Amino acid sequence: MLRFNCLILLFFISLQPMFSLAERLKDIASIAGVRSNQLVGYGLVVGLDGTGDKTNQTPFTTQSFEAMLSQLGITLPPGSSFQLKNVAAVALHAELPAFAKPGHKIDVTASSIANAKSLRGGTLLMAPLKGIDGQVYAIAQGNLIVGGFGAEGKDGSRITVNVPSVGRIPDGAMVERSVPTKFGGDNEIQFNLHNPDFTTAKRVADSINRLLGPDVAQPTDAASIKVQAPLNPAHRVDYLALLENVEVTPAEAAAKIIINSRTGTIVVGKHVRVAPVAVTHGSLTVTISESSAVSQPNAFADGETVVVPESDVEIQEESGQMFNFAPGPSLDDIVRAVNEVGAAPGDLMAILEALKQAGALKAEIVVI
């Protein structure tokens, strides 16, 4: 039986006032060149309670362990074979913030790359974190915090909560090298909007020009606004502290309907409109049940008793009510009409797609 009862319909009905609230420039835009950088590394986690890698299946864990011992001045006899149940090879990743200087600390995440069951209780040994250019920008080391755990019985049954093979080390890496930036030197600063929009870009430029004078800010496209700036870095900090607190009223977003086909969530934007149209939608339910019957021959008949399958097919079509939209209905009108007929999320998706195909829906449908 096909049903959509498990889906959840979610409408964000506009509760905003008739005017839009102004936002600070720092909340809707970022400064070009001021960005974080991704770091990655490889290391060993030790001190596990027998939940480490099975080294007979992961030879790189053994090789890494032997290389670490050799750097510490310990030489193993040739052909040595041993099991390292308390050691796990991990991949490390971190994010180096903008303007991070040597001595700053950043968080590190360690993820098992072999068959370790859990990293709980482990300690990451000193490991370098490199950037895309291959240079070492930080050194990671410390005790892991693991949110997941698991338990296993002697009969092989097991239970796992969350993910025990991933851990995090707060302030677990020390920055050793800073990333050069172009914060100073140019006579212009570029702001990049988080949500590109021509109207918002013009409003940002207008707000800055009203504060600092005409032609100080110029929008270059829907996402970028160039602003004249002093060359002295000390003056530039004060200058940006003033600019990032400029209040701007962002433009309202275009009319969109967002459909999540996996969860059944449907979000209808404020400016969605529907042309005059009538809609009806019914549900068709098909039920097939299988049973078996015994065919018994007469007492004096020359036959055999056999099992005969029987199928019962039932088709039920629910009557769909028709509702109509007046010219230019608002979001409230759409929600009210759909609620009156009790359309399920799956039905509503079909209705919205049909309205779009008919040219009656004045909005963009985005399926995620």
DSSP codes joined into one string, 166-180: EEEEEEEEEE-SPPP
3-state helix, strand, coil in the chain (%, to 5): 20, 35, 45
DSSP string of 188-207, one letter each residue = EEEEEESS--HHHHHHHHHH
Q: Is there a contact between 36 and 98 (Cβ–Cβ < 8 Å)?
A: yes
Confidence of residue 8 (pLDDT cuts 50, 70, 90): very low
- Condensed to tens digits (0 to 9), the pLDDT of residues 172-215 reads 999 999 988 776 667 889 999 999 999 999 999 999 999 998 98
Distance between CA 125 and CA 110 in Å, rounded?
Answer: 11
Q: Which two tokens stand for residue 301?
A: 């008949």
Give the distance between the most distant pair of CA atoms in the chain: 113
pLDDT score of 359 more than 60: yes
Strand pairing report for 217-219 and 224-228? antiparallel
Answer with the residue of higher pLDDT: 330 or 163. Answer: 163
- DSSP at 59: H
pLDDT score of 329 more than 70: no
- CB 130: neighbour CB atoms within 10 A? 15
Q: Is there a contact between 282 and 315 (Cβ–Cβ < 8 Å)?
A: no
Which range is least confidently modeled, 76-90, 195-209, 320-334?
A: 320-334
User: Which amino acid type is present at position 120?
Assistant: R
Q: Tell me the mean pLDDT in the region 321-350.
A: 63
Answer with the residue of higher pLDDT: 99 or 284. Answer: 99
Q: Is there a contact between 125 and 46 (Cβ–Cβ < 8 Å)?
A: yes
Residue count of the chain, please give it.
368
Distance between CA 150 and CA 365 in Å, rounded?
Answer: 43
Q: Where are the domains of the chain?
A: 37-175, 183-248, 256-367
Distance between CA 150 and CA 117 in Å, rounded?
Answer: 8
Confidence of residue 63 (pLDDT cuts 50, 70, 90): confident
SS3 67: helix
CA 315 to chain centre: 41
- Condensed to tens digits (0 to 9), the pLDDT of residues 262-306 reads 777 778 877 787 777 666 666 544 454 556 666 666 666 666 776
Q: What are the residue ranges of helices labelled H in the chain?
A: 25-28, 59-71, 198-212, 233-243, 331-341, 345-357
For the chain, report the end-to-end CA distance as a whole number of angstroms.
26
Classify the phi-psi angles of 157: left when phi > 0, otherwise alpha if psi is within -120 to 50, otherwise beta: beta
pLDDT score of 309 more than 80: no
Confidence of residue 364 (pLDDT cuts 50, 70, 90): confident
Q: What percent of the chain has pLDDT over 70?
A: 71
Distance between CA 329 and CA 275 in Å, rounded?
Answer: 8
Q: What pTM was computed for the model? A: 0.68
- Condensed to tens digits (0 to 9), the pLDDT of residues 114-158 reads 888 899 999 999 999 999 999 999 999 999 999 866 666 555 566
Q: Which two tokens stand for residue 104?
A: 């700053």
pLDDT at 163: 82
